Structure 1
Amino acid sequence: MTGQGRETTDGTVGRTLAVLDLVAAFGRPVRFAEILPVAGLPKATLYRFLQALTHQDMLAYDDDRQTYAPGMRLVRLAHAAWAQSSLAPLAQEVLDRLAVDLGQTVHLAQLDNGAVLYVDKRNAKLPVEMFAQSGKVGPAYCTGVGKAMLAHLPEDKLAAALSRQSYHAHTPNSLTSAEALRAELVRIRERGYALDDEEHETGIACIAAPILSGTGRVLGAISVTTTTATTSRAQLLALAGPVTQAAAQIAATADTWRFPEHKQA
């Protein structure tokens, strides 16, 4: 569905949630005067949406500082989503074991409207500062986990996801067109894993594998991330086996797992 079609069908609810996303994107408590220039809404409309979100505890308003921030209701919802909708609880043991065995940083991610949502992470023995953190949203076209998931989407969903990519050149190695990305996705499907060859951050490289259901549906992706200063390309490629095996283990768990049913007293 196009952005315009979605706005029409979602109406006020969609516009209100867009304001919630906007406040959260600041990454800090924010004043009304800061939100207004970027909201694209009349002053009275924006104020009404902010009031509604505050009354529903989706936003918290600080009277002293006159700022808005994500509310505690979102924290409760996030915990519920993490437990019921993310792969993180099912993948914990696999992530723990892979991180210990390899001594490298391990990421678990899922697709969210064409972007990468990092849902869990294990740090290396010697942690390295990088963009990817649990809860962060990143681009799909220039990350290992993103490309691993895109490569296995059906054509209609892939086309929609590709249309949402910015194709910004984060580094000289970034793919900057849908055509270049599609060619790379073909290679990823053939070999079973994806690489981030310093495409998102200079000096950071990773190898990633998709987590697929028994029917081939994309559930998520797992990656091992390291630095080009400490790991050669050959050493990175040697991790393809452990990464794809870990992805298969998570997929098997996800296929057989059923959310515990509530037992009536």
Structure 2
Amino acid sequence: MLASYAQVNRGAFHMKAVQQRERTGPGTVAKALSLLDLVASYERPVRFTALLKASALPKATLHRLLQTLTEQRLLVYNEEMQTYGLGSRLVSLAHTAWQQFSLAPLARPYIDALAETIGETIHLAQLDNGHVLYLDKRSAGQPIAMYSQTGKIAPAYCTGVGKAMLAFLPGPAIDRAITQQSFERFTAATLVSPEALEADLRLTAQRGYAIDNQEHEEGIICIAVPILGSMGRLFGAISITGSTARLALSDLEAHLPTLLAAAEQIGKDAQIWQAPS
């Protein structure tokens, strides 16, 4: 299942810039950034031959870009294994971006409090090009194995946080986000059509929270609510996740008032945080 979704991700990261004429300037920058995306999509060190097969770049161009990115510490090359991976400079840039633009730092005390009070796994997420980007996660007292990890990308159409965010986007943005979904089937409960997702999003908007009833992973359920500003601006979403081995959706829904209160506080803080000085 996870391998299949990684393949979908890898296809989504395909380099459009390679169709442009090779020259300096924005075209070269776009190619380099797309190459970084491609290396990252493997989630492990990758050989030159694999990158050459996966990209449409000519061999000489690919080699030159890899060399430049390595020299700039955006990639690291392991001579013994002959593999490329993401470099230390990216880690530094990512950390700075995380601190400046992510909800994670300001939401951390609320996430900590939720996890301690409820005792189940808590997720914080934002939308990224129609998909879910996990910003933070607190494991339950009894941790359960699941796909989600901080920094990972997941589908929006079959996750609680994803549907909570999609349902509260303005109309045109919802339509655009729906076209970005792959509608791959992960379980028997996965929504696999735009029509099914649209119906679910209408229900989500009416009740004010989303449900993931084993739609992304067998045995994993969750409820999620959007994080909204005072004017309805969407900042992200938070969720409570549990295992069907010991919980039902009604058990999670019993914590809905606490989850909504936390989302409201994070939304207020985010409104102030993003206000121009």
Superposed CA offset, 1:243-262 (max 9, x none): 1111111101111236998x
The question of 1:34 aligning with 2:77 is answered: no
1:126 paired residue number: 142
2:90 paired residue number: 74
2:222 paired residue number: 206
Query: What is the RMSD computed on CA atoms of the aligned residues?
Result: 2.0
Inter-CA distance 29–256: structure 2 relative to 1 (3 Å threshold)? same
Inter-CA distance 42–258: structure 2 relative to 1 (3 Å threshold)? closer
TM score, norm. by length of structure 1: 0.92
Gaps of 5+ in 1: none
Superposed CA offset, 1:131-189 (max 9, x none): 01111110000000000001111222222211111101100100001111011111111
| Structure 1 residue 75, shift from structure 2 partner | 0.4
Q: Hey, which bits of structure 1, 4+ residues long, moved more than 3 A? A: 6-10, 258-261
| Structure 1 residue 72, shift from structure 2 partner | 0.5
1:50 paired residue number: 66
Alignment of 1:138-153 (within 5 A): 138-153=154-169
Q: Are the equivalent residues in 2 in contact too, given 1:213–1:252 (CA < 8 A)?
A: yes
Other structure's SS at 1:81 match:
helix
TM score, norm. by length of structure 2: 0.88
Q: Are the equivalent residues in 1 in contact too, given 2:164–2:210 (CA < 8 A)?
A: yes
Amino acid at match of 1:200: H
Match for residue 29 of structure 2 among 4, 9, 13: 13
Gaps of 5+ in 2: 1-12
Distance, in Å, in 2 between the alignment partners of 1:14 and 1:152 is 32
Inter-CA distance 203–257: structure 2 relative to 1 (3 Å threshold)? same
Amino acid at match of 1:104: E
Match for residue 161 of structure 1 among 166, 177, 182: 177
Match for residue 186 of structure 1 among 202, 212, 221: 202
1:173 paired residue number: 189
Provide the aligned length of Structure 1 versus Structure 2.
258
Distance, in Å, in 1 between the alignment partners of 2:81 and 2:244 is 44
Inter-CA distance 120–159: structure 2 relative to 1 (3 Å threshold)? same
Distance, in Å, in 1 between the alignment partners of 2:30 and 2:178 is 22
Paired-residue identity, %? 52
